[in-house]
Amino acid sequence: MKLKNGAEYIESLRQIHPRIYYKGQAIEDVTRHPATAPHVRAAAMTYALAAKAQYKELATAVSHLTGRTISRFTHVHQSIEDLIKKIKLLRVLGQKTGTCFQRCVGFDGINSVYSVAYEIDAQNGTDYLERFKRWLIHIQDENKMVVGAMTDPKGDRSKGPAQQADPDQFVHVVQRRPDGVVIRGAKLHMTGAVNSHEILLMPTTALDETAKDYAIVGAIPIDAPGVTLIFGRQAGDDRRDQLERIDVGKPRFGAVGGEAVIAFEDVFIPNERIFLNGETAFTSPLVYRFAAHHRANYGACKTGLMDVLTGAVSYLAHIQGAAKGSHVKDKITEMIHLSETLYSSSVACSAEGRPTPSGAYLVDTMLANVCKQNVTRFHFEVARLAVDIAGGFIATLPSEYDLESETVGHLVKKYFSGVAGIPVRERIKIGRLIEAMTGGTAMVESMHGAGSPQAQRIMILREGKLEEKMKLAKALAGIPQKSKRKKS
């Protein structure tokens, strides 16, 4: 049955039984466990918006495969309009959740695998795209959540996949059978893995002929035999054991995206769910396109978070009596400026998108890398300004237990009061929200999600068209384009 809203999505997770561990203990129900439930609710927002008339145009699309209305998160981009609608949707979701809503990695994987499968078939006469289409129609019709699994442990990073002392440091095929393959290895930092229905497995880097067994793309149910998930710790996660308390900061939604390790111990993938198998020459465009799509996202979803943070610190300045200060106004203006500049990067790389041979649209890859590079700076600067305006109290707040204490509660209420008429509880709530959005895992993810800053700089230099720019300079300076150095 197609999942139509957030409640149905949450119920669907109770019908599957993946093997999940957190702090050494098994999680039986991710929808109720305090460590994972907030992330489930954040992902559920992607379903909820699609059911609301106000957001339907952004949150849904028409499948080019079936003509049916589907979640945009299962759609293959067919136009620049699709790319821009995605960006607008991500900003809204960031504003609604103040965190990661977790469906982007699978979304970007779907688009990347689709276009690359088309090109493998065109060159080699394989049928990967038809297999992928059948799987994707099932994902679209059921509105299933897909986790894109790309980041390998990598082991000794001075060596490639085939040179590792432990071959499992990169996911690889360990057995080939007439009906499919058996894989082993792991994927790290997988956002939304524990509350997804399916895994879309992809290589983490471009591969050469020595690493054919590592060139594997396929779809695996999250509860398939041999799949184990280990849910990661986050800053302040023990506070979520008491979800109703204001110490959490964002009691309804998680800190970032609920990242997990996915370990594959002799997991079988049948042929009909394999979309690349040993074609190493196509791993480079796959990783390249995935990275571009994913880096384009960050200027939108992180802008949504920055909108919330700007609003939070503006309200805090108001209830602390500092809102009229010229330096406060200037800092808030800068926060808005940085947010909109970042958002414009996402819009630009989408507006400059183009079709691949498959017909699926790809963002402008140079601008997508610039966008993500800006995230690694602008989001941190907005967070710094927020902490500057808020003051040190957000790092040293007494707990809600102290606020409610019969012994010391009156002292907390007395000395954490601000503008008359504003409850102390409100000031503490907004302070905890700022704390949650400016520290720990939240900022690490902005830095390293979709690749470290150096990865973007490598791509920016590669696509910088320096030869063309040198020609421009030579033309203006009157230097012949084919001039040779004279021997001294």
Q: Give the pLDDT mean for 90-110.
A: 94
Q: How far is CA 409 from CA 146, 249, 399, 487, in A?
A: 46, 19, 10, 85
The count of domains in the chain is 2
| Co-location of 307 and 381 in the same domain | yes
The yes-or-no verdict on residue 450 having pLDDT over 80 is no
Residue in 114, 214, 298, 361 annotated catalytic: 298
Is 294 considered catalytic here? yes
pLDDT of residue 451: 65
Q: In this structure, is residue 481 part of a structural domain?
A: no
Residue 182 pairs with which residues in a beta bridge? Answer: 175, 268
pLDDT digits (tens, 9 = 90+) for 452-481: 667 777 777 788 787 887 787 878 778 898
| Co-location of 271 and 344 in the same domain | no
pLDDT of residue 475: 82
Residue (of 300, 248, 310, 334) closest to 446 by Cα position: 300
Residue 294 pairs with which residues in a beta bridge? Answer: none
Specify the DSSP element, H or E, that contains 215.
Answer: none
DSSP strand E in 126-179: where?
146-149, 172-177
> Helix or strand or coil: residue 153?
coil
Residue in 259, 279, 400, 435 annotated catalytic: 259
Residue in 9, 46, 97, 104 annotated catalytic: 104
Residue in 46, 191, 204, 441 annotated catalytic: 191
Say what the alpha-carbon torsion angle 409, 413, 416, 418 is, to the nearest 10 degrees: 170
Q: In this structure, is residue 484 part of a structural domain?
A: no
Specify the DSSP element, H or E, that contains 227.
Answer: strand 227-231
Secondary structure string (H, E, C) spanning 371-438:
HHHHHHHHHHHHHHHHHHHHCCHHHHCCCHHHHCCCCCHHHHHHHCCCCCCCCHHHHHHHHHHHHHHH
1-10, 15-24, 347-356 — which is least confidently predicted? 1-10
Q: Give the pLDDT mean for 391-397.
A: 84
Burial group, residue 111, by CB count within 10 angstroms (0-12, 13-18, 19+): buried
Instruction: Please give the Cα distance from 219 to 274 (Å, whole number).
Output: 7
Is 265 considered catalytic here? no
pLDDT of residue 488: 44
Residue in 22, 97, 114, 301 annotated catalytic: 301
Choice between 344 and 457, residue whose per-residue pLDDT is larger: 344
Residue 25 pairs with which residues in a beta bridge? Answer: 22
Q: How far is CA 375 from CA 4, 106, 383, 416, 453, in A?
A: 33, 21, 12, 34, 9
Instruction: Please give the Cα distance from 183 to 270 (Å, whole number).
Output: 11
- Dmax (CA) of the chain: 89
Contact of 194 with 140, CB cutoff 8 Å: no
β-pairing verdict for 69-71 and 198-201: unpaired
Mean pLDDT value across the chain: 91
| Co-location of 279 and 378 in the same domain | no
Q: In this structure, is residue 483 part of a structural domain?
A: no
Q: In this structure, is residue 472 part of a structural domain?
A: no
CATH number of the domain residue 326 falls in = 1.20.140.10
| Co-location of 280 and 297 in the same domain | no
Is 445 considered catalytic here? yes
pLDDT of residue 273: 98
pLDDT digits (tens, 9 = 90+) for 38-67: 999 999 999 999 999 999 999 999 999 999
**pLDDT-derived band of residue 440, with 50, 70 and 90 as boundaries?**
low
**pLDDT-derived band of residue 448, with 50, 70 and 90 as boundaries?**
low
Is 100 considered catalytic here? yes
The yes-or-no verdict on residue 442 having pLDDT over 70 is no
Q: Edge-to-edge strand order for the sheet containing 198-201?
A: 146-149, 198-201, 216-221, 274-277
234-238, 342-346, 409-413, 442-446 — which is least confidently predicted? 442-446
| Co-location of 277 and 329 in the same domain | no
pLDDT digits (tens, 9 = 90+) for 166-216: 999 999 999 999 999 999 999 999 999 999 999 999 999 999 999 999 999
CATH number of the domain residue 86 falls in = 2.40.110.10
Residue in 9, 47, 100, 279 annotated catalytic: 100
Is 340 considered catalytic here? no
Residues spanned by the domain of 348? 286-467
